[in-house]
Amino acid sequence: MRVFVLIGICCVVAFFLALLIRRGVRAAAGTRAAVLASEA
């Protein structure tokens, strides 16, 4: 049972990490686009 619980926790953590990374990438791309637009 402990093994299944650990696997479940790992899956949830990986899922949230993926969401945070995607949001971070989008935010970084948005700030880069804003900086380029302001410079141009």
Q: What is the pLDDT of residue 36?
A: 87
pLDDT in tens, the chain (40 residues): 899 999 999 999 999 999 999 998 888 888 988 888 988 7
Q: What is the pLDDT of residue 6?
A: 96
Q: What is the pLDDT of residue 1?
A: 84
For the chain, the domains span 1-40
DSSP string, 1-40: -HHHHHHHHHHHHHHHHHHHHHHHHHHHHHHHHHHHHHH-
Q: Does the predicted TM-score (pTM) go above 0.75?
A: no
Q: What is the pLDDT of residue 39?
A: 82
